[in-house]
Structure 1
Amino acid sequence: FPHLTKERADEYAVRSQEKAAKAYANGKIQADLVPISIRRTSPEGGETGWGLATADEPMRPGTTIEQLA
């Protein structure tokens, strides 16, 4: 796949992050997120109980080509 270069992948990643941030800011994503039960832990590794995950993996707003280099 010679057309799949790091440069093209990085450009796609930046565009994808920009689109995701815009969609989230406009309320387009939240309706598709389903809260799920998770076990919470402390930084020391101890369990602190149960909670709800209400967001997907965090977006990386402001991602630039230079940061991905």
Structure 2
Amino acid sequence: MNKIKTHPTTPLPVDLLAETTRDALFDQAADLVYQAFADPTDDHIECVYLRLVFNHLGGAGDAGAVTVH
């Protein structure tokens, strides 16, 4: 997986959320991944989690979080 290079002081979108929101989105990501994929990995969960964070900040819910392209 490619790593995103950011300036050390640049907050990532996940850093803008309260811990309880981050935890809830992570739990939701794990649930979605285990429903959508036959053999899920930690990378699946991480990617879906980051998509859920992005969606949450834009008000999109879980739309497209497990869509495979």
TM-score, normalised to structure 2, is 0.30
Larger radius of gyration: 1
Return the structure number with greater relative CO, CA threshold 8 A, min gap 6.
1
TM-score, normalised to structure 1, is 0.30
Structure in which a larger fraction of residues adopt strand: 1
Structure in which a larger fraction of residues adopt helix: 2
